[in-house]
Amino acid sequence: MLPRSPAQYIPAQREAHGIESLALAEDAVLHLPKLPDYHRDPFDRMLICQAQIHSMVILTPDDLISRYPVRCTW
């Protein structure tokens, strides 16, 4: 349970921790067909593409995501 509504809590936490929101990038969407089918979840596949295109780390315990050439931590 969040201490406040998500609309208040999430932006406050982003600001407090210096986290930027990342818009859905067209180049990441166009990268989707190049991914192997290890993971079938469309949202996770989009996260993988975003991380690959923008050289970002994914915070996840999902072992399927770590099968892709992307940096993961948990």
SS3 per residue for the chain? CCCCCHHHHHHHHHHHHCCCCCCCCHHHHHHHHHCCCCCCCHHHHHHHHHHHHHCCEEECCCCCHHHCCCEEEC
Residue 16 has pLDDT above 90, yes or no: yes
Question: What is the average per-residue pLDDT within 49-58?
Answer: 94
Residue 69 has pLDDT above 90, yes or no: yes
Considering the entire predicted model, what is its pTM?
0.76
pLDDT at 20: 86
pLDDT at 1: 86
Question: What is the average per-residue pLDDT within 18-39?
Answer: 92
